[in-house]
Structure 1
Amino acid sequence: MKVLILCTGNSCRSQMAHGFLQSFDKRIQVESAGTEASGKLNRKAVKAMAEIGLDISGHTSDSVEKYLNDEWDYVITVCGGANESCPAFIGKVKNRLHMGYDDPSHAVGTDEFIWSEFERVRDEIKEGFWKLYENDIKPQLG
């Protein structure tokens, strides 16, 4: 089972989703990428995942170009708000899904508020990807 998680910058939401899905089942090959990959991970996203025991600090922020020639069981976009355009993936894909989440790196306000946004989005991603795993992916793995 091969899953590609896409967003724009590949520094925050897609990285968290990647970390969660990989932690649910090691049989799944998970990659994440961005249409405008930042080349680095968002430090707060790494910290938010570490806070719940998942280390994503070794992930890389990659361009979607790296994966266009591969075949995928799932390609999942995680971009959120109305101002954000979701990337399109033109490679070979069995299932295309969109699971939109707010981008906590765009949160404005106090440090406490911004941190609470990272935690909120992290928890929403965990819940959404757990449901996807339980209802769709796990049954296919047998």
Structure 2
Amino acid sequence: MRKVLFLCIKNSSRSQMAESILNSKAGDKFQAYSAGSRPADKINPYAVKVMEEVNVDISNKTPQSAEKYLDMKFDFVITLCDKMKEECPNFPGNPIVAHWGMPDADEIQGNEEEKLKEFRKTRNEILKRIEFFINLPMEKLDRISMENMTKEIGSQK
């Protein structure tokens, strides 16, 4: 089973969604984790709500510090925000590191429906990227090809 760590600064929405989506869609092939360099106090309630819409419960999750995982070996480390890309710590075992940057829906100003719309957009983008990721023919790829294809997922629109 391949281990994947998703990183964002606050670990309150994007990385939590990515972890939970990967675990729910391909938990037999991957074990996903998430963390942040400056974790928030709690999961963003909008993230919880939009994940409920796709039958994934993240309400009991808590933001984690990336420091918790500094001694753990991962096959993939994927950053989801530009700040985290710049601050990404080194992990043992030479994991494939990729950046799947996307805007922080939490920074959207507006009413509840406008915020939910942005969180849905983020969730859907993560869902799409995870679908690409879990469908990579990893057992047939060499490391360089796997790394390039994983990075390419973050640049697709």
Relative to structure 1, the CA distance from residue 138 to residue 129 in structure 2 (aligned partners, 3 Å threshold; closer, same or farther) is farther
In the alignment, what sits opposite 2:133? 132
Measure, in 2, the Cα distance between the counterparts of 1:41 and 1:70.
23
- Structure 2 residue identity aligned to 1:23: S
Relative to structure 1, the CA distance from residue 85 to residue 7 in structure 2 (aligned partners, 3 Å threshold; closer, same or farther) is closer
In the alignment, what sits opposite 1:62? 64
RMSD: 1.8
What's the CA shift string for 1:63-83, capped at 9, x where partnerless? 000000011100000015xxx
Deviation of the 1:39 alpha carbon: 3.1
Q: Whose strand fraction is larger, Structure 1's or Structure 2's?
A: 1
Unpaired runs of 5+ residues, structure 1, are none
Contact 2:46 2:115 in 1 (8 A): no
Residue of 28, 31, 34 corresponding to 1:29: 31
Measure, in 2, the Cα distance between the counterparts of 1:58 and 1:133.
25
What's the CA shift string for 1:5-25, capped at 9, x where partnerless? 001000000001011110111
SS, match of residue 3 in structure 1: strand
Measure, in 1, the Cα distance between the counterparts of 2:140 and 2:52.
29
Deviation of the 1:58 alpha carbon: 2.2
RCO greater where, 1 or 2, for CA within 8 Å and sep 6 or more?
A: 1
- Structure 2 residue identity aligned to 1:89: P
Deviation of the 1:137 alpha carbon: 5.2
In the alignment, what sits opposite 1:90? 90
Unpaired runs of 5+ residues, structure 2, are 142-157
Between the two proteins, the alignment pairs up a number of residues equal to 137
Give the fraction of aligned pairs with identical amino acids, expressed as a percent.
Answer: 36
Relative to structure 1, the CA distance from residue 131 to residue 40 in structure 2 (aligned partners, 3 Å threshold; closer, same or farther) is same
Which runs of 4 or more aligned residues in structure 1 lie more than 6 Å from their structure 2 counterparts after TM superposition?
none
Q: Which has the larger displacement, 62-71 or 84-93?
A: 84-93
